[in-house]
Each structure stands twice: as C-alpha cells, then as structure tokens.
Amino acid sequence: MPVTIVIGAQWGDEGKGKVVDLIAPEVDIVARYQGGANAGHTIKWEDKTFVLHLIPSGIFHEGTECVIGNGVVIDPVALMAEIRQVEALGFQVEGRLHISHTAHVIMPYHKRLDQAKEKYRDAGAIGTTGRGIGPAYVDKFARNGIRVVDLLDKDTLRAKLESALEEKNDLLAKVYGAERIDVDEMVNEYVDFDRRIDPFVTDTTALLHRALADGKRILAEGAQGSLLDVDHGTYPFVTSSHPTAGGCCTGLGVPPTSVDRVIGIVKAYSTRVGNGPFPTELEDETGEQLRATGQEFGATTGRPRRCGWLDLVALSYATRVNGFTDLAVTKLDVLAGIDELKVCTAYKIGDKITDRFPLDLDTLDRVEPVYETLPGFGSIDAASTMDALPQEARDYLQFIEDRLGVRISTVGTGPKRSETIEV
C-alpha cells in the first residue's frame, strides 16, 4: 500500500488519532496534509493520554518518520511546545520529524484577526477555534502569506512583515478596535523560531517522492472531517482547507495514482463542534448521555460537542466524495445501554423524501431526519473479536456496511489502543 489516507467522515472528532496510531507501526512515514493547530488528535495507551495538534500521530512509534506537509499552516508557538512535550515523554523528535519548507506560518496577527472577526460577527459567528487558521489560509491564497522558507533571511522576513502589518494593523485598529502589533518584536521572535525549527525543515515533497520510489509506505493523516471541507462541506460553517481525499495530493505533493487505500473514520453516532447545520442533533437526555459517556468535549478548545444519532445520508455523501475503501467505526461502546438506536437513512424536505445530502444551508436547515430504529445492546467492554460482540451490536455494524456499501475493517470498543477489534 504505497499511500493510505485516513479521513474523518463526519464533522471531525471521529477518532482519527487513535486509528493512525494503530496503523503507524505498519508504515514508514505518517504525513499530515492540511489544517493547523485547530485539530486535536488524542492518543491513549496504558495510563497515558496525549493530544497532538500539529505533529503527526505516528510520532509515538520509534520506527516511524513524520512529515508536516506544505498544506498545513504552522503555529510556531504551538509546534515548539508540542515538540518539547513529546520529547519530555522520552520520544525522539529530531531526525524523525520533517517540516515542509513551503508550509505557511501562522503569525500573531492571524490569531488576533481570527478572534476579532468572530467577535465582530457576534450572532453570525462561524465558531472557529480562534487560532488563526482561516486568516492564514486567506493570506496564502491572496499570495500574501509567510512561508517557512521566508524565515531564513531576516531582511526578507522584515520586508514581508512590514508590508503585511501595514494592512493588518489598520484592520485590527480601525475595524475591530484591537491593539496594533509591533514589527520589530515579531521579526525577532520568528528569527529565533527559525533557528530552533531549522533542523526539521526540508523539501518534504521530494522526501515523499524518494520514499515512494524506494517502495516505502506512507500514511496520510487528515485533520477535521469531510463535512467541514471548504468546498464540499456545510459552507460557510467549514474549515479553511480540504480534509477530503483530494486534499492529500495537494497538501503533500503526492500523485493520486499513489493512493490505494482510503479509510473513513466514523463515530458510531454523530457529533459537531461549533455552529452550523446538524440534522440529527439531540437536544434531550439522550444527547446529554452521549456527551457524558463519550466525553464529548473538544480536544483543542474543551468546548462541549453537539451530539446526535448516526446520519447515513451525510455519510453516504462523504463516502462518494472520498471513495472510501473501508471504514473504522469508533466509540461503539458509547452506545451500550441505550434501549433503542436510531439511524437516519433519509431526509424529509417538505413533502418529499430524499437520500441526497443538500449543501445549501437553507435546505439543510429545513430537513427532517427519517429514522430507522434498531435494538440497543449491552456492555461490549470485554469484546476483543467481532464474535464476542452482542448480536445487536453486530447487526448495527452490518446495517452501516449494507447501507454505505463499504466494509468495516476496524471497530473501537474504547479509547485505548488495546480497545480495538480488527475485523
């Protein structure tokens, strides 16, 4: 398998970090291809828990190299803190972590603008994490961004920052009433960052091409989820990049012909953080039960996640967009003890029934989920094989397979590495 892509099939928080961590020993390189420190991939093993925001989830396997690709926007403060934390756990980072020299850098003004704009929007806020991801991508596509390679020369960096800050400071002060940023302080801070990051920086596209030529195996790790894709998600309540399969090729510079496996990570129910449409959301005791049992709080922000029943209309759409070859169903244990499980199989719009996922907000806000009810199941804590699962749990998984037409290859029965069934 030259390139395997791991993709969130819903609105993020599906458990991608755990699945990547499980597959990492089988590959040579784990490469992150989009997003930034707004992502939080949680890894649990033994009595340890660690949340990764930028470093790929393969870093805890000594034989695995890790790549942060050109499609990622890098927060230097978050990255250096994360490197120190991983090293404090006893894992080597230098020599194993490779950062693209053409990745864009999140600057202090990106964070300030992100937070100020959300406050300015007020009731119309997108619900961003406030970490500067969107503004950094805006500058990237406006051809006004700062890349890692720009940090190499202090005079070049100063010229670019002076040009950028003239506009950004006017926006901050005159539009949003926020404090201006000093260019000298920023130049010194980022020149120091360049000194510390220099051992990790390389041409990661060339590195990955050499790896493919040598027959090495690459695991591409996406952040967020398919329904947050800026083109294919619930716009404008989306992220600013492409967490779908196509984003892997542009975010790493690998050809689509090198991809032969696309794993969709699916939570056994649905969750969403922030604002935006959510047809199967439960604002009742069952929704609260899912949140409490599943510990549904954002790994990056700590915000409570909105919870609801599994939505197969949305999942069918994500399956078509990404071309999933198989699925990993996570958090099946969270459903244990619920008497009846509902699964959305269609939408009702007015007097019409459809299995199409609409992308215009007006329509999506009006849909009524059409449910099929399946019997619940008891505890699955002791199950280490499919045969050990209660029949009702197996029927639930089979229902998903049949409706999506994609095989389930992995089932999560708990948060730890060991709490996984390989089908």
- pLDDT tens digit string along 347-373? 999 999 999 999 999 999 999 999 999
Q: Which residues are annotated as a binding site for IMP?
A: 13-16, 38-41, 129, 143, 224, 239, 303
Q: What is the largest CA-CA distance in the chain?
A: 67
Question: Would you call the peptide bond into 236 cis, given omega within 30 degrees of 0 as the criterion?
Answer: yes
Asked if pLDDT for residue 47 goes beyond 90, the answer is: no
Contacts of 183 (CB under 8 A, 6+ apart): 158, 161, 162, 165
For residues 285 and 141, membership in a common domain is answered with no
147, 172, 196 - which closes a domain: 196
For residues 304 and 386, membership in a common domain is answered with yes
For residues 121 and 154, membership in a common domain is answered with yes
> pLDDT tens for residues 75-123?
988 898 899 989 988 899 999 999 999 999 999 889 888 887 777 666 5
For residues 242 and 335, membership in a common domain is answered with no
Owning domain of residue 218: 3-100+201-263
> pLDDT tens for residues 190-239?
888 888 888 999 999 999 999 999 999 999 999 899 999 999 999 999 99
Question: What CATH number is attached to the domain comprising 237?
Answer: 3.40.440.10
Residues identified as active-site: 13, 41, 140
Total domains, the chain: 3
Asked if pLDDT for residue 277 goes beyond 90, the answer is: yes
Q: Which residues are annotated as a binding site for Mg(2+)?
A: 13, 40
Q: Which residues are annotated as a binding site for substrate?
A: 299-305
Question: What CATH number is attached to the domain comprising 366?
Answer: 3.90.170.10
- CA distance linking residue 159 with residue 194, whole number of Å: 16
For residues 91 and 126, membership in a common domain is answered with no
Predicted local confidence at residue 29, as pLDDT: 97
Asked if pLDDT for residue 298 goes beyond 80, the answer is: no
Question: What CATH number is attached to the domain comprising 189?
Answer: 1.10.300.10
For residues 307 and 405, membership in a common domain is answered with yes
> pLDDT tens for residues 158-203?
888 888 888 888 888 887 877 788 888 788 888 888 888 889 999 9
For residues 258 and 127, membership in a common domain is answered with no
pTM of the complete model beyond 0.75:
yes
| Residue 125 pLDDT class (50, 70, 90 cuts) | low
Predicted local confidence at residue 294, as pLDDT: 93
For residues 278 and 380, membership in a common domain is answered with yes
